[in-house]
Structure 1
Amino acid sequence: MTDWTPAMVEERLAVAALVLKRMPEPRRQGYFSTWPEIVHSFGDKVGQEPKPMRVLPSPQDISRMEETLTWTACLEPLDGKIVWMKAHGERWKEICWAVGLRRSAAHQHWQYGLSVIALTLNRRSFNRSLSKRKVIALAAGA
């Protein structure tokens, strides 16, 4: 496989977030209903909105998502939060409000997080005391 780039990491995180959204809701064990299933007639269904169809992810998608979930463990909590919020499709305005940073600073934390993940996946060692800009440049040159 080729070396990981921050763009590839971003795409994989977005796919993992999409798979996470498609997972079925967890159900409590031990709770059940003794009521019979209600069968609606055609007249009852007229004018109702159809229920959205939920397509469950494949086992391969779930395995890739589980692998991807471990990637943010090497990040600082703030960087991990920004990376996941962006992967879930949040707008920069909501991200900035949630983390308390300006857009330019939040964007730099996001790029830094993607770069750290890419460098870690490529098994490239780098000094953690480097500035965020140098780490971003190091990952871009990879």
Structure 2
Amino acid sequence: MSKRLSGPLSPNEIEDRFEEAARTLRRLPDDKPQGYFNVWPAIVRTTWEIMAMERQPMKVWATPQSIDRMEECFAWLFWLEPEEARVVWLRAEGMRWKPICRRLGVSRATAWRWWATALIKISHRLHADDKPRMSKPRKQAS
């Protein structure tokens, strides 16, 4: 995955950014109450107890920078038609083409065309926003 800091992004880089956004969204904590907790001190375990314990999977949390990039990708989705945005997001989540086509009721060629068109639209829009604006020349005071 390329990490460019400036300049317009290519459709492939935009695809990578959407995949990163989907991963970031999965890494965010659930939106539910914390539940029960206790205020007892932590149990001090011996080395043998620690070695005998089952391994706990470590949760990798989203970084603030990845959350910012995710929010930027969400803004890009508003530039698209609803079906294009849906296809782009489903592909970013890793869904294969067959379930996407079944869900949207279109052929694979149509779904792929929507996806490719959406990435190109975003790329062109970003490229247009990146160009310097031509300003009118100032009148010189005489």
Q: Same fold (TM over 0.5)?
A: yes
Cα distance per residue 1:9-54 (max 9 Å; x no partner): 111111111111111111238x6568x8xx8xx6xx87x6x44321
Q: How many residues end up aligned between the 2 structures?
A: 120
Structure 1 residue 123, shift from structure 2 partner: 1.5
Give how far 1:6 is off.
Answer: 0.8
Larger radius of gyration: 2
SS of 2:78 mapped into structure 1: helix
Distance 2:7 2:31 in 1: 37
| Residue identity opposite 2:72 in structure 1 | E
Aligned residue number for residue 4 of structure 1: 9
The structure-2 alpha-carbon separation of the partners of 1:33 and 1:4, relative to structure 1 and needing over 3 Å to count, comes to closer
Q: Which residue of 2 aligns with 1:114?
A: 119
RMSD: 2.7
Give the superposition deviation at 1:2: 2.9
TM-score normalised according to structure 1 size: 0.71
For residue 90 of structure 1, the aligned residue among 81, 85, 95 is 95
Question: Cα deviations across residues 73-106 of structure 1 (Å, max 9, x unaligned)?
Answer: 0111100000000011001111111111111111
**Matching residue's letter, 2:19:** A
Structure 1: tracts of 5 or more residues without a match:
125-142
Question: What CA distance in whole angstroms lies between the structure 2 residues aligned with 1:28 and 1:51?
Answer: 22
TM-score, reference length from structure 2:
0.71
Q: What aligned pairs does 1:1-142 form with structure 2 within 5 A after superposition?
A: 1-28=6-33, 32=36, 50-123=55-128
Secondary structure at the residue paired with 2:106? coil
- Alpha-carbon distance in 2 for matches of 1:77, 1:28: 32
**CA–CA separation in structure 1 for the residues paired with 2:58 and 2:37:** 23
